[in-house]
Amino acid sequence: MTKIHNLGFPRIGAKRELKFALEFYWKGESSRDDLKALGQQLRQRHWQLQTELDLVPVGDFAFYDQVLDMSFTLGNLPERVQDFHGDALDNYFRVARGRSAQSTSDTQCCGGVAAGEMTKWFDTNYHYIVPEFTAATEFKLDASRLLEQLAEAEAQGVTAKPVIIGPVTYLWLGKAKDDSNKLALLPKLLPVYAELLETLAAQGVEWVQIDEPILVTELDAGWQNAFNTAYQYLQDGRVKLLLATYFGQLAENRSLAANLPVAGLHVDAVNGRNDVLLLLGMLPEQMILSLGVINGRNIWKTDLNTVLNWVEPIAQQLGERLWLAPSCSLLHVPVDLDSEQKLDAEIKSWLAFAKQKLGELQVLATALNRGRDAVKAELDANRAAIEARRHSSRVNNPAVKAALAKIDAKLGQRQSPYAQRALKQAALLKLPKFPTTTIGSFPQTSEIRLARSQFKSGKLDAAGYKAAMQAEIARCVSEQETLGLDVFVHGEAERNDMVEYFGEQLDGYAFSQSGWVQSYGSRCVKPPILFGDISRPRPMTVEWISYAQSLTDKPMKGMLTGPVTILNWSFVRDDQPRSVTCKQLALAIREEVLDLEKAGVKVIQIDEAALREGLPLRKSQWQAYLDWAVESFRITANGVADETQIHTHMCYSEFNDIIAAIADMDADAITIETSRSDMELLDAFEHFNYPNGIGPGVYDIHSPNIPSEQHIVALMHKAAERVPTEQLWVNPDCGLKTRQWAEVIPALTNMVAAAKTLRASLG
């Protein structure tokens, strides 16, 4: 009998219950007990949705991040919070976001510290808190989180499969703060893992899922050897280990994975199907093979009949040694399609969210175990939906395909090199040295959210909504005038999300009502569904930017999201190459850029926050991606005159190894996140002569902490050691929509003061 299981479930809740509970707690509007109770309710609800599985993941729930959870389980806390003796959850939030709840009764729990560095989880839009190491790092087991959740699961009658991050991946994910060798910590780490596994065995656990996704990356000999060392050490434990890989193919690590002394191996059969047949000849006789046959990162229905055609011979060969699962944790998809009312019936019939994906697994298992006739109706309905999508006229637009065929190299070229453009822009804009700006958004206040909600529900007409948004734009302009910023933004009051806002105005997109996915902590996004060929029926931002510019003599940035980011932050169609879809987006956004320029906008920012996260996990495949990604940006940006200044923004990623590609984008100025890494991201500029303007983010907008003028000046001095001062801008590291005005005003006041100090000291 083929078993089915799941690698992880979305934890934020179908209605974002965890998001709101966290934010209430952080504001001091609810208690710690209230938050913990909500977490327990969500776990119980999600386990109930998984009752048809043979094994249910436990420990995949986190109040902020699963990597941070693992750091606390291993007792690996940054030194700056080790002297905290209050509630462990408060210390957890101090690492995650710089502080815990807003409480007047406990100043220690609220004392601000530097938040942990945050970066992308492999090539997804999920962010994790980076573990911190030094040569002196020690580990000490704290299994309380897992044990509490196991007890809850047992009480609910759940057949639990605890989920933990494996020791080699955990070290790989972290950062050595003293430049020591992370792998040297493995001998100290493994005894704690062994103790954890023995603790779980003592609770009656049979299987433990131990995630080692770095096996789908290109590993040098040291990391490959670390796997043999780690799992030989752990092989004598009483629990059975299911070693889980995902997000790609094993390729040259195939033999390594197949020969590790574990009881089972999970592989991503969506992205790494070529691995499977080769693995069949490598696996030890008793090893379980778990195939991830349901895409855990996208929302399209699985072609169940095609999967069965492929899997049935494998099932005959392996028998009970074959398990089926999603390709990865379902953390990356929304919870339940059944609650959707916004999507039209046709598009909805093409989709599957987390709950529906588990239903697909059940159909596959029933077909394998009892024969296809047992689920004939389900398989016939699935086939009809797949065919309907394939042939829909809503998916295919001949005019878009014709425009794509006309793309040539000239479309991506600026009129003049940067050095010549910079002189013309300087003469036109007349900016001071160390010019100040922000990334685009200002706080999304309760008034903004109320007006948007009333407009969508019909309680506020179009004229009233426009007036409300213009009032918010006017407030943003006024605040920037008072602050003394040099290049203004309109604040993006009218935008619900930097991708969804544009998708709503492009043909080829659809939108869910509750398709929320966790990005980090309480931050959720609702990726639009890119189902067809993309075109722009009308201007999308010109009216708002023109109004904002009419209120000030300062340069007003036009704010756009770039094609690569729109692509990477959408649920993207899987029936054509991503490169083709990206170039369709590039042509559409290019039209908007040209319309902004015609309207007199002299500075246009095209955000590519997600450029790096689209990189394939294997470096050997990077160049092909970067070629079409950079080309798409250049198509978008390079139809303008020399005098028009093009900016772009990127956040929370390591850029050092793609700095040449970033330079090839040829933006006149780039703003990047550097505050959480203490300007470490600028190390690339010690060996690379970046030619254009650059704004290293000088304060962390994801933390409520307010940076001092002295802190900002110190960071910019570090930047000036690597980048010529005439190229430097001063700005936050990301947009300000998630912050409150009470935090933004003092932070920007200090930032502007810092810029003035820099002009005096370095000018």
DSSP state of 614: G
Q: What is the DSSP string of 63-89?
A: SS-HHHHHHHHTT---GGGTT--S-HH
Which tokens go with 224?
Answer: 């490959």
Residue length of the chain: 763
What distances in angstroms separate CA 372 from CA 151, 316, 352, 360, 748, one per listed residue? 38, 14, 21, 13, 63
Going by the annotation, the residues of the binding site are 16-19, 120, 125, 439-441, 492, 523-524, 569, 607, 613, 649, 651, 664, 673, 734
Q: For the CA atoms of 576, 577, 580, 585, what is the dihedral angle to 10 degrees?
A: 90
Binding residues for Zn(2+): 649, 651, 664, 673, 734
C-beta contacts of 155-158 below 8 A and 24+ residues apart: 156/44, 156/47, 156/48, 158/47, 158/50, 158/51, 158/56, 158/58
Q: Which of 5, 332, 647, 702 is the catalytic position?
A: 702
Strands 288-294 and 240-244: unpaired
For the record, the structure tokens of 172 come out as 């790989």
Q: Residues within the annotated binding site for L-homocysteine?
A: 439-441, 492, 607
Q: How far apart are CA 266 and CA 272, in angstroms?
A: 11
Q: Compute the distance between CA of residue 654 and CA of residue 650 in angstroms, rounded to an integer.
A: 10
Residue list for the binding site for L-methionine: 439-441, 492, 607
Does residue 680 contact residue 674 with C-beta atoms inside 8 Å? yes
Per-residue tokens: 497: 């999300």
Q: Measured over all CA atoms, what is the biggest interatomic distance in the chain, rounded to whole angstroms? A: 80
Q: How far is CA 465 from the centre of its chain?
A: 31
Is 702 tagged catalytic?
A: yes
Please give the backbone phi and psi of residue 488, each rounded to the nearest 5 degrees, phi first. Answer: -90, 165
Neighbour-count burial of 387, counting CB atoms closer than 10 A to its CB (0-12 exposed, 13-18 middle, 19+ buried): exposed
Task: State the catalytic residues.
Answer: 702
